[in-house]
Amino acid sequence: MKILTVVGARPQFIKCAPVSRALRKEHEEILVHTGQHYDREMSDLFFQELDIPKPDHNLGIGSGTHGRQTGAMLAGIEDLILKETPDLVLVYGDTNSTLAGALAAAKAHVPVAHVEAGLRSFDRKMPEEVNRVLTDHCSDLLLAPTETAVANLASEGITTGVHLTGDVMVDALLQHAEVARASSALANLGLERGHYRLATVHRAENTDDPARLAAIMRALGDLGNVVLPCHPRTEKMLKNAGLYEEANKRIRLIPPVGYLEMLALESGATTILTDSGGVQKEAYVLGVPCITLRETTEWVETVQDGWNVLVGSDREAIVRAAHGFVPDKKGSDVFGKGEAAAEIRRVIREYFGG
């Protein structure tokens, strides 16, 4: 069968690495990069490190407002669907690239498979929540990472085509954590395991509100030993808000890092402070306490199991949580055991009657 996969943003490259490898054992895959992320350290670096095949097509859409970016992707992907006539379109996660891929396929009457179906924050102000809901409602195969995701879909009336597969990010993590830990990544940064905190910040709700961004950055500065690989969106917004110099003095801001370096940084940190979806899960799987700089999370299991606390953007609350948070029990394999890609391959084979 011919599968057209759409990716475009950093976490999608990581998610597609194990799945692509599994699917290519028995299907033809056409890999489409929308160009949503384009800086070397947000895109090419991941293709190199994770040995992801070179995209067959790069739409080069780049940045823009939601409507312009998603609309340009929609038109570009539609052209490719008409040209390639795939049997299935595969999309990942909750970005604008995800929605554009799913919508283009559904309108062309090509079945859609959604990896990471059923996640909900129940906050429709998040662009990702809109993308998740709409993508799920036009998908034929809903590849859900957790029981919670399956239940979320059921509560919206979606039960057909739903499969509990586990989380593909666990596959990627388990495949790379050992090499990452054994690497010289920490030494190269002059860091010692257990002597720093790691932070990431990039959500629109945090970066696009100068007051929230300032409060978060000041809290991280108060903690004193924070390393923050800085997403280009965050760097831009810090500069626009006149906060960059202050933040750069009090926090160790470094450019975005590759996946192996990131896993090494996560593994060696005493605490992770983040608003990333993927990083919350990685903290849980690696057993590092996580403080989430949001009011909601899709990954509720990390909170229920006591490894993650939601603190939002209040300066004092963040500092208090970072000093006082001691997880009460070890994480479980609620996100799967690293076999999600194989399960997705099995589900797709079954879907095609194999």
Asked if residue 114 binds ligand UDP (CB under 6 A), the reply is: no
Interaction partner, residue 345 (ligand UD1, ligand UDP, none; CB < 5-8 Å by kind): none
Asked if residue 276 binds ligand UDP (CB under 6 A), the reply is: yes
- DSSP secondary structure string for all residues of 233-269: HHHHHHHHTT-HHHHHHHSEEE----HHHHHHHHHH-
Nearer to ligand UDP, 80 or 143 (CB): 143
Interaction partner, residue 236 (ligand UD1, ligand UDP, none; CB < 5-8 Å by kind): ligand UD1
114 is catalytic: no
Asked if residue 145 binds ligand UDP (CB under 6 A), the reply is: no
Report CA Rg, the chain.
Answer: 19
Q: Cβ of residue 243: shortest distance to ligand UD1, in angstroms?
A: 16
| Displacement of CA 244 from its chain's centroid (Å) | 25
Asked if residue 147 binds ligand UD1 (CB under 6 A), the reply is: no
Of the residues 27, 202, 231, 323, only one is catalytic, namely 202
Q: Cβ of residue 354: shortest distance to ligand UDP, in angstroms?
A: 31
Nearer to ligand UD1, 232 or 306 (CB): 232
Backbone angles phi, psi at 204, to 5 degrees: -55, -40
- Tell me how far apart the alpha carbons of residues 349 and 36 are, in angstroms, rounded to a whole number: 30
Interaction partner, residue 127 (ligand UDP, ligand UD1, none; CB < 5-8 Å by kind): ligand UD1
Nearer to ligand UDP, 167 or 343 (CB): 167
| Displacement of CA 100 from its chain's centroid (Å) | 17
Asked if residue 11 binds ligand UDP (CB under 6 A), the reply is: yes
- Tell me how far apart the alpha carbons of residues 271 and 197 are, in angstroms, rounded to a whole number: 5
Q: Cβ of residue 148: shortest distance to ligand UD1, in angstroms?
A: 19
Interaction partner, residue 233 (ligand UD1, ligand UDP, none; CB < 5-8 Å by kind): ligand UD1
Asked if residue 36 binds ligand UD1 (CB under 6 A), the reply is: yes
Helix (H) or strand (E) holding 281, with range, is: helix 277-286
- The closest of 168, 159, 196, 181 to 90, measured between CA atoms, is 168
- Tell me how far apart the alpha carbons of residues 219 and 323 are, in angstroms, rounded to a whole number: 12
User: How far lies 94's CA from each of 18, 115, 317, in Å?
Assistant: 18, 9, 28
Stretch that binds ligand UDP, among 103-111, 252-260, 284-292, 345-353 (CB under 6 A): 252-260
The two tokens of residue 247 are 């933040």
Asked if residue 262 binds ligand UDP (CB under 6 A), the reply is: yes
- The closest of 271, 275, 280, 328 to 305, measured between CA atoms, is 328
DSSP type of residue 340:
H
Stretch that binds ligand UDP, among 22-30, 83-91, 119-127, 257-265 (CB under 6 A): 257-265
Spell out where 284-329 has E strands: 290-292, 308-310
Asked if residue 35 binds ligand UD1 (CB under 6 A), the reply is: no
- DSSP secondary structure string for all residues of 68-109: HHHHHHHHHHHHHHHHH--SEEEEETTSHHHHHHHHHHHHTT
Interaction partner, residue 36 (ligand UDP, ligand UD1, none; CB < 5-8 Å by kind): ligand UD1
Q: Cβ of residue 94: shortest distance to ligand UD1, in angstroms?
A: 6
- The closest of 287, 296, 295, 292 to 327, measured between CA atoms, is 287
- Tell me how far apart the alpha carbons of residues 139 and 116 are, in angstroms, rounded to a whole number: 11
Q: Cβ of residue 97: shortest distance to ligand UD1, in angstroms?
A: 7
Among 71, 127, 221, 327, binds ligand UD1 (CB under 6 A): 127
Asked if residue 232 binds ligand UD1 (CB under 6 A), the reply is: yes
Site for ligand UD1, rule CB under 6 A: 9-11, 36-39, 42, 63, 94-96, 127-128, 202, 232-233, 236
Active site residues: 202
- Interface with ligand UDP (CB under 6 A): 10-11, 14, 200, 202, 229, 256-259, 262, 276-279, 282
